[in-house]
């Protein structure tokens, strides 16, 4: 019997086909040639059956083109129950922010003063809103929270010491640690106190010894300490810094702009409270509890911000126009805290009632059962149970939010079904445990329940759910 691979056409023969010439006209000859070669390589390797005719290669090439053109960064449905999921981009942004970011894709007055017709500054965008909301003297936006801390330290303490409590030498994610951030800023780490107890006198001794260019207070947002503990208050550090003419920088992290009590969560300090305490600079993120795009915000005394803005590192870490547009639209929502609670997805997810989440989960169970019955597919073993969601993103480490979880008994099919959910359009990222797939309804977002229902309706049931 003849080897069917002997009938595989050459590259030039496929490129000469009318459908391939159309692809060349729209995508370019070099790129389409590479796609054709990839298809032929798969056929020769036996990854796909050898087509019966040259015309039958069209579908394979079209599929390869579609695969190659799929963007690596895609929108996904977060079914994990972690609201600020770092691997999934942390905060989903408000519709107003999305609209503003789309509009910023064209030309804009990012560094142009429309009143004078002369060059303007990108640092003027968002600054007015931040100062208005926090009562600060000035504000500056850079590309992320760690960047904000780095700019502050570089501007105020390069070549000098930075006094930090031993108990606040935290790792902020991705393996980056406060000592490394201090070192990268060209400063020298001066640790004071102990892991569990650091008093004002510890900072005072370091300042009196000389060579300290800044006092850095780091909010422990991604872990908690209890028991035999003590720490100097922000107000105490401000009095010490003011008397010694040493700036106080507060790395606050999360950027919560509303009272945490409104969220039903434990106390969390806000940037406005840091400003009111008199810090020279407070640094916080735009993409955590604030609920905007990735950004780092510095706010505080006008002189402290001006010094940070004048530092060369500030230009290296500056934001682009799209980020500024999204952040400005998000901050605008906070002029009315009630509106922010309704429109900012992070705040809405945190405050969602578990009873409403259960209603949505039960509706999905009914829809999936109906669709699978209509299609003649085997039913899935679905059950709505209570669970616990996390805020995530290095915030509220001890908080657990009651939630509704759709539990799917998958047995040996669990990994295959999880892969099928990730391959869905849009992909669904869920959790699995001991042969069960868990869909947390708190983090699905608007319309996510319909997408989950469609994906579950299409799952194959070759392996019994209880296997």
pLDDT of residue 224: 65
pTM score: 0.89
pLDDT digits (tens, 9 = 90+) for 331-372: 999 999 999 999 999 999 999 999 999 999 999 999 999 999
Q: Check whether 395 has a pLDDT greater than 80.
A: yes
What radius of gyration do the chain's Cα atoms show? 28
C-alpha to C-alpha distance for 459 and 381, rounded to whole angstroms: 12
Confidence of residue 273 (pLDDT cuts 50, 70, 90): very high
C-alpha to C-alpha distance for 365 and 406, rounded to whole angstroms: 8
Nearest CA-CA partner of 143 in 272, 283, 279, 257? 283
Q: Check whether 77 has a pLDDT greater than 80.
A: yes
pLDDT of residue 393: 81
pLDDT digits (tens, 9 = 90+) for 315-326: 999 999 999 999
- Cβ atoms within 10 Å of 15's Cβ, excluding its own: 17
Collect all residues with Cβ–Cβ distance below 8 Å to 17 and sequence separation of at least 6: 54, 55, 57, 58
Q: Check whether 418 has a pLDDT greater than 60.
A: yes
Confidence of residue 223 (pLDDT cuts 50, 70, 90): low
pLDDT of residue 467: 40
Delineate the domains of the chain, giving CATH numbers in brackets: 8-67 (no CATH), 77-83+351-457 (3.90.1150.180), 95-343 (3.40.640.10)
According to DSSP H, which parts of 187-226 are helical?
A: 200-208
Beta-ladder partners of 401? 389
């Amino acid at each position: 019997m003849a080897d069917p691979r002997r009938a595989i056409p050459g590259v030039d023969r496929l490129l000469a086909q009318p459908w391939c010439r159309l692809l060349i006209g729209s995508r370019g000859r070099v790129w389409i040639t590479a796609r054709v070669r990839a298809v032929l390589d798969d056929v020769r390797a036996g990854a796909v059956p050898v087509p019966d005719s040259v015309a039958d290669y069209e579908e394979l090439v079209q599929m390869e083109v579609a695969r190659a053109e799929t963007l690596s960064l895609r929108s996904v449905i977060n079914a994990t129950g972690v609201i600020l999921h770092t691997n999934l981009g942390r905060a989903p942004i408000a519709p107003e922010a999305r609209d503003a970011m789309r509009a910023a894709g064209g030309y804009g007055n990012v560094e142009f003063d429309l009143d004078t017709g002369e060059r303007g500054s990108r640092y003027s965008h968002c600054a007015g809103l931040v100062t208005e909301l926090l009562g600060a003297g000035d504000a500056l936006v850079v590309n992320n929270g760690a960047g904000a801390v780095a700019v502050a330290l570089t501007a105020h303490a390069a070549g000098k010491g930075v006094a930090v409590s031993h108990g606040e030498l935290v790792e902020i994610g991705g393996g980056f640690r406060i000592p490394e951030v201090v070192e990268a800023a060209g400063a020298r780490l001066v640790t004071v106190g102990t892991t569990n107890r650091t008093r004002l006198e510890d900072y005072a001794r370091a300042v009196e010894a000389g060579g300290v260019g800044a006092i850095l207070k780091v909010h422990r947002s991604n872990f908690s300490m209890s028991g035999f503990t003590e720490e100097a208050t922000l107000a105490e550090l401000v009095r010490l810094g003011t008397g010694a003419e040493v700036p106080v920088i507060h790395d606050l992290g999360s950027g919560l702009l509303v009272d945490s009590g409104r969220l039903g969560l434990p106390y969390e300090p806000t940037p406005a409270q840091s400003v009111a305490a008199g810090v020279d600079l407070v640094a916080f993120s735009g993409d955590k509890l604030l609920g905007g795009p990735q950004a780092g915000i510095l706010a505080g005394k006008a002189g402290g911000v001006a010094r940070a803005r004048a530092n060369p590192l500030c230009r290296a870490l500056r934001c682009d126009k799209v980020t500024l547009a999204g952040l400005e639209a998000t901050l605008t929502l906070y002029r009315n805290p009630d509106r922010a609670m309704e429109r900012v997805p992070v705040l809405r997810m945190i405050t969602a009632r578990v009873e409403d989440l259960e209603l949505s989960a039960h509706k999905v169970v009914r829809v999936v059962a109906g669709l699978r019955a209509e299609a003649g597919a085997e039913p899935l073993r679905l059950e709505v149970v209570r669970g616990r969601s996390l805020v995530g993103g290095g915030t509220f480490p001890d908080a657990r939010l009651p939630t509704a979880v759709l539990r799917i008994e998958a047995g040996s099919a669990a990994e295959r079904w999880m892969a099928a959910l990730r391959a869905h359009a849009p992909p669904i990222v869920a959790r699995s445990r001991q042969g069960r797939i868990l869909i947390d309804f708190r983090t699905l977002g608007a319309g996510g329940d319909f997408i989950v229902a469609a994906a579950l309706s299409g799952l194959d049931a070759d392996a019994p759910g209880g296997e």
